[in-house]
């Protein structure tokens, strides 16, 4: 099996984040890495990709950060 590039890994992780948010609606940043079984650094890079495309929103509550799909992206 050929090794995937970091760019491909980030893209696949963005897709996994999209799927989780479509099902769970809102997830904390700490939960997200566990739910998709990916390293936090890769998750953060994928979140940056999705945020740049205005696909997700962030909400802060105390020390926690929550992520959700942007309203226009919800199914």
Q: DSSP character for 38?
A: -
Q: How many domains, in total, are found in the chain?
A: 1
Indicate whether 20 pLDDT > 90. Answer: yes
Summary mean pLDDT of the chain: 92
Q: Is the residue at 32 inside a domain? A: yes
Q: Residue 65 sits in which domain range? A: 6-73
Question: Do residues 18 and 69 make contact, with C-beta atoms less than 8 angstroms apart?
Answer: yes
CB neighbour burial string for 1-21, b if at least 16 within 10 angstroms, e if fewer: eeeeeeeebbeebbebbbebb
- Residue 1 located in a structural domain: no
What spatial distance separates the first Cα and last Cα of the chain, rounded to whole Å?
Answer: 34
Closest CA to 66 of 28, 36, 34, 32: 28
Classify residue 62: in a domain, yes or no. yes
Whether residue 20 is contained in a domain is answered as: yes
Domain CATH for 17: 1.10.10.10
Interval 23-57: pLDDT, tens = 998 999 989 999 999 999 999 999 999 999 999 99
Is residue 31 one of the residues assigned to a domain? yes
């Amino acid at each position: 099996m050929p090794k995937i590039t970091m760019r491909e890994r980030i893209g696949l992780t963005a897709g996994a984040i999209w799927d989780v948010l479509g099902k769970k609606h809102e997830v904390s940043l700490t939960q997200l890495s566990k739910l998709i079984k990916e390293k936090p650094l890769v998750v953060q890079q994928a979140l940056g990709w999705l945020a740049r495309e205005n696909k997700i929103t962030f909400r802060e509550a105390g020390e926690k950060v929550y992520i959700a799909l942007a309203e226009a992206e919800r199914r």
